[in-house]
């Protein structure tokens, strides 16, 4: 695999103040979050850094074998015994017979994946939504004071840890796309995976850790787009949950009453019959 000697980076577009405001906004969007969460949350970590991300491209080839089954209807004679007349009659029926044929072939394909190579637990969804197409060549400085996190894994390590399984599933889908007939069985294949290229891109990541009533929570924000963010399960205000349940209770009671009335009237009219322009109960 060729690791590109050229390194890229995404300029950070969020200041510390914008980061703080975005974090506060996210803290107030959760369902049943406490009203005092922003004011009483204690900041544990407020950090913006450049995270190492590898853009990995590769290809695969697979040799496969399988058996494909083709169904056909075959007529046969079935004898039915009539115990009443003590006779036997013949019936022509059909059964499904499957003819199996061996097949083999080759499947090929390409893949491209984006993986974080650092030591933090950055949510993968955040990494995947970063627009690396806006990256600029890195010439030793980003033009700001943010730190560059060191890549802790090689491109091969990132691939093996994060993408090997997904590529294996891609290979399986590619192989089985050659399926023919009405049934298939005995799939077997051997594959080779090649990593062709890996490009290192440093992307700005905002990490906010806060504590509230003895528990710690995390917020992750894309430093190029604050809309791309991840919030760990925020604290819930039990009083708001209780109030919501109590407010909903009258509507639930009314709904149960309506449903009960429908079934009651259904049973009543089930025991009535039209008679001379009226009804009588039987």
Lowest mean pLDDT among 8-22, 90-104, 150-164: 8-22
pTM of the model: 0.73
Cβ-contact 216, 210 below 8 angstroms: yes
Residue 253: pLDDT above 60? no
Confidence of residue 249 (pLDDT cuts 50, 70, 90): very low
- What's the rounded mean pLDDT across residues 254-274? 55
Half-sphere exposure for 256 (CA within 13 Å, toward CB): 6
Confidence of residue 233 (pLDDT cuts 50, 70, 90): confident
Among residues 44, 53, 49, which one has the least CA distance to residue 223? 49
Give me the residues paired with residue 218 across strands.
209
Among residues 40, 44, 46, 38, which one has the least CA distance to residue 16? 46
What is the model's pLDDT at position 19?
87
What is the model's pLDDT at position 50?
96
Residue % of the chain over a pLDDT of 70: 80
Confidence of residue 246 (pLDDT cuts 50, 70, 90): very low
- Phi first, then psi: what are they for 267, rounded to 5°? -65, -35
Residue 34: pLDDT above 60? yes
Decide which of 39 and 193 is more confident.
193
Residue 243: pLDDT above 70? no
What size, in residues, is the chain? Answer: 282
Among residues 109, 258, 100, 74, which one has the least CA distance to residue 191? 109
In terms of C-beta density within 10 A (0-12 exposed, 13-18 middle, 19 or more buried), how is residue 181 classed?
middle
């Amino acid at each position: 695999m060729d690791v590109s000697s050229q390194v890229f980076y995404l300029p950070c577009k969020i200041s510390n103040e914008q980061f703080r405001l975005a974090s506060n906004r996210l803290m107030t969007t959760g369902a049943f979050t406490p009203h005092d969460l922003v004011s009483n949350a204690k900041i544990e970590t407020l950090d913006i850094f450049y995270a190492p991300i590898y853009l990995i491209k590769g290809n695969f080839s697979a040799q496969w074998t399988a058996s494909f089954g083709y169904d056909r209807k075959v007529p046969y004679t079935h004898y039915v015994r009539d115990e009443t007349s003590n006779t036997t009659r013949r019936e022509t029926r059909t059964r499904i017979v499957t003819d199996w044929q061996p097949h083999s072939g080759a499947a090929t394909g390409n893949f491209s994946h984006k993986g974080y190579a650092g030591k933090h637990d950055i949510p993968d969804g955040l990494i995947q939504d970063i627009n690396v197409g806006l990256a600029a060549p890195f010439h030793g400085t980003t033009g700001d004071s943010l730190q560059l996190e060191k890549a802790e894994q090689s491109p091969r390590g990132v691939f093996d840890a994060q993408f090997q399984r997904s590529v294996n599933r891609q290979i399986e889908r590619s192989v089985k796309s050659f399926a023919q007939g009405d049934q298939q069985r005995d799939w077997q294949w051997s594959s080779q995976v090649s990593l062709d290229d890996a490009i290192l891109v440093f992307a700005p990541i905002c990490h906010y850790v806060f504590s509230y009533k003895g528990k710690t929570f995390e917020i992750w924000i894309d430093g190029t787009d604050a809309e791309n963010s991840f919030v760990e399960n925020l604290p819930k205000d039990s009083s708001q949950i209780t109030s919501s349940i109590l407010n909903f209770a009258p509507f639930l009671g009314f709904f149960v009453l309506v449903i009960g009335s429908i079934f009651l009237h259904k049973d009543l009219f089930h025991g009535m019959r039209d008679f001379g322009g009226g009804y009588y109960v039987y």
